[in-house]
């Protein structure tokens, strides 16, 4: 994060804190007014105490978040005292609770002296994420088998990776100043380095091997000692010769996708709007996309529109409680995997557990400091994504399943109409795939399917959506993309796929694909299923006109 962005982030946090302090003064006036009313509006005491309890509850949850730990402590004390008085006294008009609140409200006001001068920027500094602006990935391959190295170079560059070849670790280390690697792949035992261990050869080379540079090993010796050596160096993969190149490329793609994946989306549901704004700002400071629910009655529509990875929700709210809203969402089958986490100042463990049993996944306690919030949210987003992928992803390709990609097409077309921006659907099919299965077997056919999936994942934007529509057929959704751009990018993928060399028992072969595109602006009156049919028809026109080409649907 650039220094000017960090500065702006800290200024916004400080501004929120100042606003909170300012609003507290008004809140204290309201509390003092309510305490006064307790002694004069005796027939309304139960309602007034409920109002006071709710205000103290909110203050207990927000105070510590803004750095006022004593405020949280005092507010929680008052909240608990009110709860106990309501449970133990036959009438809420008993004078002792009124007297107690009058005599001790100054403790709440005095707690503001705990104000810290500035909001710590450590959370943003410790959680900075470096985002590469270029898509090109530079991979160092250290391999003294030059024939294998050249073959691997050709194959990896077909998938868009730039491979730098070296025959020793020393030669690779000398090249680092010219171009730092995004990944390091090398033979665990090089002929020229047999006298030295890999660990010795790599130590004191921080520019070549570091935590930000993933490491993969290739070798023809699958021994326990070699795997231990790889594990000690933190290798993320261990591949045997002769190499299964599509499998290797798939792993490379997975690693880069994990490193560049968006930090995720969070929807906040909290009636304390100022506290919700603070959470939003803190999480946005580390790149997480955050929205705050404005109307509880629109929670389903908001979730379907925003598609959050995590719902962060208060437990006690005046209109609808957290468990009630979670219960509504769990009524929808398509939201069964949505991660819901309560963030509340509720201290009663039985109430917490009861709330979790009503449709949530976890419970976080207010007040929560910024670093803890960031860490907790990041962890739960990652877990949410893993669960979603297991449910909605095809096991071979890692792409969306048929039903999920069709639902995504429907949602993106609806979004495009609202935003008045085009969306293009692309149907792709591998040419003569039956012949591949009949000639080389289904295992090789799976390699071909997976190779195309890797190319699509590697070449398309993060905002694009890819699914395995069935068999050797794929559906790609390109939001904010006109037909001309869609044809250009898909035709580039077509050419690269045609250049991938497949190998079966020493026999090399290539495959091609045919694709059809259909853009929402060309067919503005069509629904998603009808637009899918148009792209499918265009794909068959591509096959009928000779295959290995991209055809756009026409009106």
Tens-level pLDDT at each residue, the chain (555 residues) = 444 444 455 666 667 777 777 787 788 888 888 887 877 766 667 788 888 888 888 887 777 777 777 788 888 888 888 887 766 654 444 556 677 777 677 666 666 555 433 333 333 333 332 323 335 789 999 888 887 888 788 777 767 788 899 888 888 888 888 888 889 998 866 544 444 445 445 555 666 776 678 899 988 888 898 888 888 888 888 988 877 776 787 788 778 877 766 778 999 999 888 888 988 988 988 888 999 999 999 999 999 888 898 999 898 888 888 889 988 998 888 787 788 999 888 888 888 888 787 778 888 888 888 888 898 888 888 877 777 766 677 877 878 888 889 988 988 888 888 888 899 999 999 999 999 999 988 888 888 998 899 889 888 887 899 999 989 999 999 999 998 999 999 999 999 899 888 877 778 899 999 999 999 988 888 888 899 999 999 999 999 999 999 999 987
> Is 472 an active-site residue?
yes
Please give the structure tokens belonging to residue 211. Answer: 């935590």
Q: What is the pLDDT of residue 5?
A: 44
The sheet with strand 362-365 has its strands ordered as 289-292, 265-269, 310-313, 339-344, 362-365
433 close to 471: Cβ distance less than 8 angstroms: yes
Whole-angstrom Cα distance, residue 63 to residue 56?
A: 10
How far is 543 from 168, CA to CA, in rounded Å? 47
Closest CA to 252 of 166, 182, 325, 178: 182
Would strands 237-240 and 215-219 be described as parallel, antiparallel, or unpaired? parallel
Q: What is the CA radius of gyration of the chain?
A: 30
Given 79, 346, 412, 472, which residue is catalytic? 472
Decide: residue 98, CB within 10 A, 0-12 exposed, 13-18 middle, 19+ buried.
buried
Question: Residue 266: beta bridge partners?
Answer: 290, 310
Q: How far apart are CA 65 and CA 278, in angstroms?
A: 8
CA–CA distance, 471 with 184 (Å, rounded to integer): 34
State the Cα–Cα distance between residues 275 and 254, nearest whole angstrom: 37
Please report the DSSP string for 279-305 in residue order.
HHHHHHTTT-EEEE-S-GGGHHHHHHH
């Amino acid at each position: 994060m650039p220094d000017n962005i960090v500065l702006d982030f800290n200024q916004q946090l400080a501004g929120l804190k100042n606003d909170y302090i300012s609003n507290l003064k008004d809140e204290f006036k309201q509390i003092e007014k309510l305490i006064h009313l307790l002694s004069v509006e005796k027939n309304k005491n139960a309602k007034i105490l409920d109002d006071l309890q709710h205000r103290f509850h909110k203050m207990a949850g927000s105070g510590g978040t803004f750095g006022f730990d004593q405020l949280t402590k005092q507010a929680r004390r008052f909240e608990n005292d009110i709860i106990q008085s309501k449970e133990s006294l036959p009438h809420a008009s008993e004078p002792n609770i009124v007297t107690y609140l009058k005599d001790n409200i100054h403790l709440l006001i005095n707690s503001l002296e705990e104000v810290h001068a500035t909001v710590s920027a450590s959370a943003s500094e410790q959680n900075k994420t470096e985002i590469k602006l270029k898509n090109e990935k530079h991979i160092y391959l250290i391999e003294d088998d030059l024939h294998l190295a050249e073959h691997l170079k050709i194959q990896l560059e077909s998938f868009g990776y730039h491979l730098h070849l070296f025959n020793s670790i020393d030669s690779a280390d000398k090249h680092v100043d010219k171009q730092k690697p995004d990944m390091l792949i090398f033979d665990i035992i090089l002929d020229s380095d047999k006298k030295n261990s890999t660990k010795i050869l790599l130590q004191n080379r921080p520019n070549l091997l570091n935590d930000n540079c993933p490491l993969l090993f290739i070798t023809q010796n699958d021994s326990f000692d070699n795997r231990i050596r790889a594990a000690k160096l933190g290798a993320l993969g261990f591949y045997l010769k002769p190499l299964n190149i599509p499998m290797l490329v798939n792993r490379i793609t997975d690693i880069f996708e994990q490193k560049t994946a968006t930090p995720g989306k969070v929807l906040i549901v909290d009636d304390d709007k100022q506290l919700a704004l603070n959470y939003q700002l803190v999480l946005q400071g580390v790149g997480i996309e955050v929205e705050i629910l404005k109307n509880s009655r629109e929670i389903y529509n908001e979730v379907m529109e925003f598609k959050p990875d995590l719902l962060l929700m208060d437990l006690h709210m005046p209109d609808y409680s957290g468990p009630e809203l979670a219960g509504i969402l769990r009524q929808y089958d398509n939201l069964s995997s949505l991660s819901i986490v309560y963030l509340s100042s509720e201290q009663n463990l039985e109430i917490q557990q009861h709330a979790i049993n009503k449709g949530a996944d976890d419970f976080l306690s207010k007040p929560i400091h910024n670093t803890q919030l960031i860490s907790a949210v990041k962890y739960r987003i990652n877990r949410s994504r893993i669960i979603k992928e297991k449910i909605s992803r095809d096991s071979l390709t890692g792409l969306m399943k048929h039903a999920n990609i069709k639902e995504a097409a429907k949602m993106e077309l609806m979004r495009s109409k609202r935003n008045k921006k085009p969306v293009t659907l692309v149907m792709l099919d591998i040419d003569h795939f039956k012949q591949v299965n009949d000639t080389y077997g289904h295992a090789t056919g799976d390699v071909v399917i997976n190779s195309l999936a890797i190319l699509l994942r590697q070449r398309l934007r993060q905002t694009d959506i890819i699914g395995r529509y069935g068999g050797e057929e794929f559906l790609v959704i390109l939001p904010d993309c006109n037909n001309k751009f869609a044809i250009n990018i898909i035709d580039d993928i077509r050419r690269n796929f045609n250049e991938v060399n497949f190998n079966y028992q020493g026999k090399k072969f290539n495959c091609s694909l045919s694709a059809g595109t259909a853009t929402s602006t060309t067919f503005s009156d069509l629904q998603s299923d009808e637009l899918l049919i148009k792209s499918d028809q265009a794909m068959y026109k591509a096959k009928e006109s000779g295959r290995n080409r991209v055809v756009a649907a026409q009106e």
